[in-house]
Structure 1
Amino acid sequence: MTKNLRLRFALACGAVFLLAGAVLIGVVAFVVRQTLEPRAGLGRPAYMRVSNGIYPPYTIGYSVAQERAEQVRRVYQAETVKNVLVVGAIALLPGAGLAALLGWREARWTLRPIRSVTASARRIAQSHDLTERIAHDGPDDEVKELADIVDTVLGRLARSFDGQRRFVANASHELRTPLTINRTLVDVAVRRADAGEDVKRLGESLLLVNARHERLIDGLLALAEGEQKVLDRRPFDLTDVAEHVLDAAAEEAEAAQVAVHRLLDPAPTAGEPVLVERLVQNLVENAIRHNHPGGEVWVSTRRRADRVELVVANTGLPVPPYEIETIFEPFRRLHGDRLRSERGSGLGLSIVRAVAYAHDGVVTATPREEGGLTLAVELPCVEPS
């Protein structure tokens, strides 16, 4: 951005110099032209006088000489004005280039506060830490006013996000206790010896609803935790996390008649292993549950330059490209299966994106031509010390 501003500033300096120089040359040419115009009352020129100081009579020769003198004057005037314009134009172009060069150099000094503010804003954006501030220390000018406004906005955003996370966490904790009590009471009622078939069926239905609410609350807690920046990072291998998750999901995959293929290469990274495990778990569960009997799931990890990558692909129903971005929104599900509680609470991919974001990573989704999705998560590569 600053380079574009410097270029525009330099071009503006060159253009101003060019315009001012053109006006100045025009004024000089006009003054020279007016100076070379004949003036009344100055008498005839010396070459029109005779040696004894008496003017010749107004003869034909005299008229011819006078006309010839006027022609010479006009030619001299035209040539002089032309020389002023040509020489001025020749000098004007290098001058404009020099002015643009000086403007480019001066713009670097002028735009230094903007570069400082931009660097601070970029650092805050990359760190995802809204507690940081630009804190521009400079004269009370437009740049400082802009930096102070940005700091004010960051402060309001930080308070808003912190309040939202606290609300979700507190509400989730408060709701966990009654749900636990409900599950215990329903389980006791179902297991009673005198419980009839209707009571048992009702109890099983209530336990399913209760389990779904518990998953929803766990998802909200994970989402609230995942949206916080991970500051205490521990090195670990993403491959170990993926193997642990796949081993734990093997029973569910077998029950769903889904074949899981794994290609796990070393992928060293750093962060909070528990959160990353939840990320991998959500991706694997999503691939298994949004599949069909006889379907397949491919899980791979690898290292790519300064990044590590986790890719989870699965078969399933075709996914329209316009729905790709919406699947990362909370409580959004594909193909209208909002009421199917066995497929989760609709927070799985939202948690994946939040955890990846907290670890300075990115997650992308791509529809497969044969049906299903390919989800890729990239995290920073951190070699163990």
Structure 2
Amino acid sequence: MKRLTIRARLTLVYGGLFLLAGVVLLAVTYVLVEQRMPGTVGVALNKTRLPESTAGRVISPNDAEQFRIFARQIQDEARDNALETLLTQGGIALAVVSAIAVAFGWLIAGRALQPLHQITGTARRIAGAGTAGHGLHERIALDGPRDEVKELADTFDLMLERLDQSFDGQRRFVANASHELRTPLALNRSLLELAVTRPGAPAELTQLGETLLAVNERHERLIDGLLTLADSEQQVVERTPIDLAEVVGHVAEQMRTELPVHRHLAPAPTAGDPVLLERLTQNLLENALRHNVPANGQVWVNTGTFDGWVTLVVANTGPVVPGYEVETMFQPFRRLRQERVGGGRGFGLGLSIVRAVAGTHGGSVRAEPRHGGGLVVTVLLPAEASLRAVPHHHAPPAVPTATLGPRPELPVGDPAPLAGPARTLR
């Protein structure tokens, strides 16, 4: 059962109390008038002395009694008419005034709750700005008297300020630590390369140097991923118009893989940081290629537009992904259980960077298991036209997967149709 809003409940309470007060006032008035009218008229009749003769005719006691009875009937009828008129006219007036009071109550309640709507709107924009603390720089800054609502807004602003400082400190720590670690890693790489390429180096030393170079390269890639994650969590200040389909085509052309990549690239104009958007696309494609089946594996890449948003959908064949583990894959350093056991080359930063880049551009990322194995990842970013018209403060819509491209129920080897040129990369 849907509950009434606070505004509706306040209006009902205000209108109910007003109606109750009006009914009580009308009832008290009715009782007072009813008690007052018979006494006044009755006393007037008792004090009235009828003449004993009129125009030479003597009035008998019987005629005088009949006159008093007739006067009393007129009195009772006048009293009943007056009380009935009081109830009818008073009831009508009370109903009209109550309706006006309810209307004013609705307006007054809306006016009183306006600061709460401002607080809710700010919280909704911050919640829709993505993860990693995006949008925490915004404040309510409520004006008005120092009342309970003003104290609530100020407390909320203080909480946002502390959260913003916490996230900024975390990002600065990751960036600074990553920068500090790159220097010794670069020095280690130079020394190892010098030792390996030195003339007359023993075979054991060469083998050990190559192993250490591979470990050093892995650490460098980890540091590079942390730097990218820290950079992608910063707010995008300058946005460059860019077609996401061109970015996908460029990244796909640079990749060399034995697996077929089916591309259905419809125009997807957006605006943002080209470097970050290229890294987003690269991470999605590398993730789809790396976590695939050894033989007969395939990847589908689609771009397009939907309801003022540009879409990028990447689907692949691969191992079955449990639905309850999909969300954990977007957390840093989190991978599937079998990959952690198998010691895969990934660090668990790819999808974290994808979500951070999408969030800082005002978009979102969602993933769902593909029927038969694999994953379908959908990225939504604001279209360029909608960014020029009005900034996006609302959350991206829930887009049906069938509308965007490769559906989870597609059989292996059957790319999903989508408007736009289709190409296959091998």
CA displacement at 1:16 relative to structure 2 = 1.9
- Give the distance between the partners of 1:170 and 1:227, measured in 2 at CA: 14
Question: 3-state DSSP class of the match of 2:340?
Answer: coil
Taking the aligned partners of 1:206 and 1:81, their CA distance within structure 2 comes to: 105
SS in 1 for 2:384: coil
Q: Which residue of 2 aligns with 1:104?
A: 106
Give the deviation of 1:36 after TM superposition: 5.7
How do residues 342-357 of structure 1 correspond to structure 2 at under 5 angstroms?
A: 342-357=344-359
Secondary structure class of the residue paired with 1:379? strand
Task: Indicate yes or no: 2:367 matched with 1:365.
Answer: yes
Normalising by structure 1, what TM-score? 0.81
Per the alignment, residue 145 of structure 1 pairs with: 151
Gaps of 5+ in 1: none
Quote the offset at 1:298 in angstroms: 0.3
Distance 1:35 1:70 in 2: 15
Deviations 1:259-299 (A, max 9, x none): 21111122111111111111111100110111112211001
Deviation of 1:107 (Å): 3.8
Indicate whether 1:262 and 2:269 are aligned: no
Aligned to 1:130: 136
Cα 1:297–1:70 shift into 2, 3 Å? same
Asked whether the 8 Å contact 1:124–1:133 carries over to 2, the reply is no
In 2: Cα distance, 1:341 partner to 1:44 partner: 113
Query: CA 1:124–1:331 in 2, change beyond 3 Å: closer, same or farther?
Result: closer
Structure 2 residue runs of 5 or longer lacking an equivalent are 53-60, 389-426
Question: Which of 207, 217, 228 lines up with 2:213 in the alignment?
Answer: 207
> Which structure 2 residues correspond to residues 158-197 of structure 1 after superposition, within 5 A?
158-192=164-198, 193-197=200-204
Deviation of 1:174 (Å): 1.1
- Specify the SS of the correspondent of 1:338: helix
The sequence identity of aligned pairs, in percent, is: 52
Structure with the larger helix share: 1
Please state whether the residue corresponding to 1:337 is helix, strand or coil: helix
**Residue 275 (structure 2) pairs with residue 274 (structure 1):** yes
Distance 1:203 1:37 in 2: 119
1:6 shift after superposition: 4.1
Q: Which amino acid counterpart does residue 261 of structure 2 have in structure 1?
A: V
1:176-206 Cα deviation digits (max 9, x unpaired): 1222233333444444534234x55544443
Answer yes or no: is the 8 Å Cα contact 1:10–1:99 preserved in 2. no
In the aligned structure 2, how far is the partner of 1:173 from the partner of 1:186? 21
2:237 corresponds to: 231
1:216 aligned residue (213, 216, 222): 222
CA distance in 2, matches of 1:242, 1:271: 15
Aligned 8 A contact 1:12 1:100 in 2: no
8 A contact 1:234–1:272 mirrored in 2: yes
Q: Structure 1: how far apart are the matches of 2:35 and 2:139?
A: 64
Aligned partner of 1:306: which letter?
A: G
TM superposition shift of 1:139: 2.8
Cα distance, 1:340–1:201 mapped onto 2, change above 3 Å:
farther
- After superposition, residues 322-361 of structure 1 pair within 5 angstroms as 322-338=324-340, 340-361=342-363
Q: 1:343 and 1:32, CA in 2 relative to 1: closer, same or farther beyond 3 A?
A: farther
Give deviations 1:144-187, integer Å, cap 9, x for gaps.
32332222222212211111111000111111122223333344
2:380 maps to which of 371, 378, 381: 378
Contact 1:212–1:345 (CA under 8 A) maintained in structure 2: no
Partner of 2:25: 24
Secondary structure of the corresponding residue to residue 369 of structure 1: coil
Does the 8 Å contact 1:124/1:132 carry over to 2? yes
Q: Report 1 or 2 for greater relative contact order, CA contacts < 8 Å, sequence distance ≥ 6.
A: 2
1: CA distance, partners of 2:72 / 2:212: 116
Matched to 2:141, the amino acid is A
Give the Cα separation in 2 of the matches to 1:340 and 1:215.
19
Spell out, residue by residue over 1:210-245, the C-alpha distance to the aligned partner (whole angstroms, 9 max, x if none): 222222211111111111110111111111211121
CA RMSD, Structure 1 to Structure 2 (Å):
3.7
Any idea what the Cα deviations from partners look like across 1:318-376, whole Å, max 9, x if unmatched?
A: 22222222111111112331255544110111110000000111111121112111101
Q: Tell whether the 8 Å contact from 2:366 to 2:378 is kept in structure 1 after alignment.
A: yes
Who is 1:307 aligned against? 309
The answer to whether the 8 Å contact 1:363/1:377 transfers is yes
AA in 2 matched with 1:275: L
- 2:202 partner amino acid: A
Contact 1:189-1:195 at 8 Å conserved across structures? no
Partner of 2:162: 156
**Cα distance, 1:112 vs structure 2:** 4.6
Distance 2:228 2:342 in 1: 21
Tell me how far 1:13 sits from its aligned partner. 2.7
Deviates more, 1:67-76 or 1:78-87: 67-76
Between the aligned partners of 2:209 and 2:84, the Cα distance in structure 1 is: 105
